[in-house]
């Protein structure tokens, strides 16, 4: 966790929409550190936007408190709820929401005009922020004559023109095409560093979250499942939901050989010489237990088999299908005594359909999970289980 001071704190926030029985946000507490990008990540309907909108003042929580720099903005038990315009926030949403009847300068300067800032100062400040978002000199351009990416930059410029305490971004790139999305991702990161502004970012896209965030809170059903750095969530997921939502995990059946302070030694079924070390996710796990070994696909190398039984640390299999994807090849591999897994290989050493291969696992850094009946049905590629379980992702 970060030691930076909290710019925004939520304490025990709950929200039920009228007519609904389930809590959109359920007793949620979090601290958004000053000068960082804090991301709410999670599947559709998990309560990300509702949380962001309560920080903005566009929704009122039923219970709980929100503080900006320790100053209460919302205290439900005292009926305090500051309106959005008194919160000093900047917002960008999925829809560009820039005004089509205005020029770029009028759009970006609008929040300053509302605050009765003198027009000479508005002109100065508009030029400044346009330069920051790479749109210098575009003041006179009518808003409809901008591309999607440019419109989103203008929305961003308008959101930061007042130097807000916190910038709220709700899926700001999802209307852009893939290339532009990547570019905007980098630009927001650079802009955030330059301005050292605090950002609350909402996305359901794990790549966007991993690459942009200082902290991620992964949500499900209105609650936080895990909070931490991108690396923390990826390398040490606390439960199956986090493991399968953030990145891909291949599941192998195995047996615990021993459990020590640095983790469990697991022998992969069908490959007795393949024993690797894994973090245990069950305090009761001990020698002899049947478990799932969770392996990130990038922790496996696909090698040509050159004999009958694989050397230590390797599992043998056969290429079921090889799909050429351009920069890499996706292999579907039938693994001895395991379910089929899908994994990427490099395009320089292709294997044909049916080729015998050895899968070389890293010796450590894996995870061990108790057998779970749902996964027992379809293990192999945990991502498939995840997709079956979380609709609308
Ligand atoms: N205005 C509303 N009235 C009633 N229910 C709502 C309203 N807005 C959201 N909900 C419900 O509250 C829950 C949380 O919604 P929210 O919009 O916060 O999800 P989200 O995580 O932002 O999802 P998405 O990724 O699809 O944007 C969902 O079950 C949703 O159907
Ligand atoms: Mg949303």
Kindly report, residue by residue over 64-123, the tens digit of the pLDDT: 999 999 999 999 999 999 999 899 999 998 876 788 899 999 999 999 999 999 999 999
Question: Average pLDDT of 335-341?
Answer: 89
pLDDT tens-digit series, residues 199-234: 999 999 999 999 999 999 999 999 999 999 999 999
- pLDDT band (50, 70, 90) for residue 387: very low
What's the predicted TM-score (pTM) here?
0.88
Nearest ligand to the CA of 25 is 1
Other Cβ atoms less than 10 A from the Cβ of 192: the count is: 21
Nearest ligand to the CA of 219 is 1
Q: Which residue has its alpha carbon closest to ligand 1 atom 31?
A: 45
Q: Which residue has its alpha carbon closest to ligand 1 atom 3?
A: 17
Question: Average pLDDT of 3-26?
Answer: 94
Q: Which residue has its alpha carbon closest to ligand 1 atom 5?
A: 17
Task: Indicate if ligand 1 lies below 6 Å from the C-beta of 15.
Answer: no
Ligand 1 atom closest to Cα of residue 50: 18
Ligand 1 atom closest to Cα of residue 43: 25
Other Cβ atoms less than 10 A from the Cβ of 376: the count is: 12
Domains of the chain: residue spans and CATH:
6-241 (3.40.50.300), 248-389 (2.40.50.140)
User: Measured between alpha carbons, how far is 16 from 23 in angstroms, rounded to an integer?
Assistant: 5
pLDDT of amino acid 2: 46
Indicate the average pLDDT of the chain.
90
Q: Is 330 helix (H, G, I), strand (E, B) or coil?
A: strand
User: What single DSSP character describes residue 103?
Assistant: B
User: Measured between alpha carbons, how far is 173 from 194 in angstroms, rounded to an integer?
Assistant: 20
User: What single DSSP character describes residue 138?
Assistant: -
Q: What is the 266 CA–ligand 2 centroid distance (Å)?
A: 40
- For ligand 1, pick from 46, 55, 200, 222 the residue to mutate: most ligand atoms within 8 Å of CB: 46
Alpha carbon separation from 217 to 129, 135, 167, 176 (Å, rounded): 30, 32, 17, 24
Task: Indicate if ligand 1 lies below 6 Å from the C-beta of 280.
Answer: no
User: Measured between alpha carbons, how far is 311 from 322 in angstroms, rounded to an integer?
Assistant: 24
- pLDDT band (50, 70, 90) for residue 390: very low
Task: Indicate if ligand 1 lies below 6 Å from the C-beta of 52.
Answer: no
pLDDT tens-digit series, residues 40-53: 999 999 999 999 99
pLDDT tens-digit series, residues 147-186: 888 898 999 999 999 999 999 999 988 888 888 888 888 9
Nearest by Cα to 333 from 350, 314, 319, 322: 319
Nearest ligand to the CA of 40 is 1
Cβ–Cβ < 8 Å for 6, 60: no
Residue 363 has pLDDT above 60, yes or no: yes
Nearest ligand to the CA of 46 is 1
Q: What is the 152 CA–ligand 2 centroid distance (Å)?
A: 17
- pLDDT band (50, 70, 90) for residue 375: low
Ligand 1 atom closest to Cα of residue 204: 25
Ligand 1 atom closest to Cα of residue 22: 29
Task: Indicate if ligand 1 lies below 6 Å from the C-beta of 17.
Answer: yes
Q: Which residue has its alpha carbon closest to ligand 1 atom 8?
A: 50
Min mean pLDDT across 53-67, 308-322, 365-379 is at 365-379
Cβ–Cβ < 8 Å for 326, 332: no
pLDDT of amino acid 96: 64
Nearest by Cα to 244 from 276, 206, 213: 206
Task: Indicate if ligand 1 lies below 6 Å from the C-beta of 20.
Answer: yes
């Amino acid at each position: 966790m970060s030691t930076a001071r909290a710019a925004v704190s939520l304490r025990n926030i709950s929200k039920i929409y009228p007519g609904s029985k389930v809590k959109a946000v359920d007793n949620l507490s979090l601290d958004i550190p000053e000068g960082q990008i804090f991301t709410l990540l999670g599947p559709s309907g998990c309560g990300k936007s509702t949380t962001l909108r309560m920080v903005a003042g566009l929704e009122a929580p039923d219970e709980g408190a929100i503080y900006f720099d320790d100053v209460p903005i919302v205290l439900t038990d005292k009926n305090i709820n500051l309106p959005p315009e008194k919160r000093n926030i900047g917002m960008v949403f999925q829809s560009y929401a820039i005004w089509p009847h205005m020029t770029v300068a009028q759009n970006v300067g609008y929040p300053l005009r509302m605050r009765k800032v003198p027009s000479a100062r508005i002109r100065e400040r508009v030029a400044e922020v346009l330069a920051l978002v790479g749109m210098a000199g575009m003041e006179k351009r009518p808003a409809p004559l901008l591309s999607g990416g440019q419109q989103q930059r203008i929305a961003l410029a308008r959101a930061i023109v007042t130097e807000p305490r916190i910038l709220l971004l709700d899926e700001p790139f999802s209307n852009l095409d893939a290339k532009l999305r990547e570019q905007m991702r980098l630009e927001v990161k650079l802009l955030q560093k330059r301005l050292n502004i605090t950002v609350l970012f909402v996305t359901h896209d794990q790549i966007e979250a991993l690459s942009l965030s200082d902290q991620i809170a992964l949500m499900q059903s209105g609650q936080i499942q895990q909070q931490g750095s991108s690396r923390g969530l990826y390398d040490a997921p606390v439960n199956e939901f986090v493991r399968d939502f953030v990145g891909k995990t291949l599941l192998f059946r195995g047996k615990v050989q021993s459990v020590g302070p640095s983790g469990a030694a697991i022998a992969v079924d069908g490959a007795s010489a393949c024993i690797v070390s894994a973090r245990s996710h069950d305090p009761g796990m001990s020698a002899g237990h049947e478990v799932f070994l969770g392996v990130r696909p990038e922790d496996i190398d696909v090698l040509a088999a050159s004999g009958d039984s694989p050397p230590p640390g390797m599992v043998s299999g056969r290429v079921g299908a090889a799909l050429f994807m351009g920069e890499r090849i996706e292999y579907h591999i039938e693994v001895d005594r395991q379910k089929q897994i899908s994994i990427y290989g490099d395009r320089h050493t292709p294997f044909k359909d049916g080729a015998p291969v050895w899968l070389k696992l890293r010796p450590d850094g894996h995870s061990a999970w108790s057998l779970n009946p749902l996964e027992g049905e379809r293990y192999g590629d945990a991502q498939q289980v995840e997709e079956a379980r979380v609709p609308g992702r």
